Every structure is written in structure tokens, then in C-alpha cells.
Amino acid sequence: MLYLFRIIITTIWVCIACFVGILVGIARPFDPRNTRISARLIAWGRRFLGVQIELRNEEILDPARPCVFISNHQHNLDIFPGGYTLPKNTVTIGKRSIIYIPFFGQFFWLSGNILIDRKNKKRAFEAMDVAANAIKEKKVSVWIMPEGTRSKGRGVLPFKKGPFITAIKAQVPIVPIAISSYTKHLSLGKWKAGKILIQVLPPISTIGLTPEDANSLKEQAYHLMKKTVLELDNEIERNSVKKI
């Protein structure tokens, strides 16, 4: 019963937050500052779910330094840790089909986020070029989930190369953001549903790299992210045992 109530009330809250984002987007369309307003409102909805979020190394999220943020992609609930962490002046990249999701899709588009057609490789790579140009010309950061699909409890999936080519073309650092495997550790049917740990990792420089270096950069980031997520998961499990 608690689980169902939480899903209903949280869905309503997310719709309200996105509606606010639509209004802001109409007032100043495609402004990169728009995303964070609704993202923070959405993240507040974690309280309805009974979820705690702990963000570590927040000082690395420097809004004055454009970069490419990457995070692991687990579930639709990513909007809560993502919204909680999203820095100022940052846009995200999402599937073009997102635009058809009521409220969320319209907010996402009007906020200046970048939509890509994953079914068309040529257009997807063109969108990465758009992202690189936005970083260089507008001095914005871009948040990308390099797995390209939700892992749904399968751990950190292999990364795609696009985000790393984007960072190299823009000559900005990659900043990995590791999020604990909440799909395994949250219990939304309990009053205290659990905790999500988020760890921001030191920037990985791309200065002097070329697109030919994208694969090695991708593997470096992947192994670092996978290792950190495992460490966060182990910490949550150890703390759960202590409480028992």
C-alpha cells in the first residue's frame, strides 16, 4: 500500500515540477539554466519515496568549468539522483522519443537539452557534434549516460564511444559521477526506503587527445566507474548488516 501511494504522489510531483519547467522554458526558451530549476524540484520528490541521497566531492562540480559529466544509467528513478546532482549551466543528452512523454518531454526540449536519434547513427554522431559546439561556444557542460540504456540491476554496462569523442572535440575534461546500485538496495515499501550514494570523481583530462584516443579514454572511465560503483554498493551492504 505504501509503495503504491508513493508511486502515485511522486508521479504527480514530477508532473508539477515539469510543468514549472515548461513555464520557465516558455519564458526563456532553450536556456541552459532552465534544466536545473526543474531538476532540483524533481529531486525534492525523493522525500515522498523515503529515499536519502548523499553526494560526495560536490566541490568538483565547478559550474565555471565546462566539461562532460558521465553517470551510470539504471532506471527511470535516475531523475532523482541526477536532479539532485545536476550542476548549474548544464544540459543533458536524451533520446528523441523523450519529447513525447507528457510534461517531462516538453520540459526537456524547452530547457535546451540535446535530443538524439539513436536509431540513426549518423544523426546521433551529428548530435554529439552539436554538444561539442555548445560546450565550446556557449560554455555549458553536458551530462551524458554513456551506457546508452538502463542497466536494471545488471551493474555498469559497457560504455559507448560518443560522449568521449564529444569531450575530446571540445577539449574539456570528463567528470565521472558514480551512483550506487539503488535498484538492488532500495525498498520503496518500507518507511525508510534506503540510501543512494553519489560520488563525483576527479576530472579526466582530454587535452591533446584526438578522436582516435576515444576508445582508451572510454575504457579508462568505464573501469573507474565500475570500480567506484562496486565500492559504494559494498559500503551500503556493510551498513545494512550493521543495522541488523
Alpha helical stretches, state H, the chain: 2-27, 34-44, 46-49, 79-85, 104-110, 121-138, 162-170, 182-185, 214-243
Segments forming the whole domain that contains residue 147: 2-243
CA 100 vs CA 41, 75, 96, 109: distances in Å: 21, 18, 8, 10
Residue 56's pLDDT is 96
pLDDT tens, residue by residue, 156-169: 899 999 899 999 99
- Report the share of the chain in percent with pLDDT over 70: 95
**Share of residues in the chain with pLDDT > 90 (%):** 56
What is the structure's pLDDT at 127?
73
pTM of the complete model: 0.91
* pLDDT computed for residue 156 by the predictor: 87
Question: Quick one: pLDDT band at residue 97, thresholds 50, 70, 90?
Answer: confident
Residue 164 CA to residue 80 CA, distance in Å, equals: 25
CATH of the domain at 115: 3.40.1130
Domain total in the chain: 1
Q: How far apart are CA 30 and CA 41, in angstroms?
A: 18
Distance, CA of 138 to CA of 133 (rounded, Å): 8
Q: Is 190's pLDDT higher than 70?
A: yes
CA distances from 13 to 105, 128, 183, 210, 230 (A): 15, 32, 21, 44, 31
Amino acid identity of 63? P
What separation, in Å, do the N-terminal and C-terminal C-alpha atoms of the chain show? 24
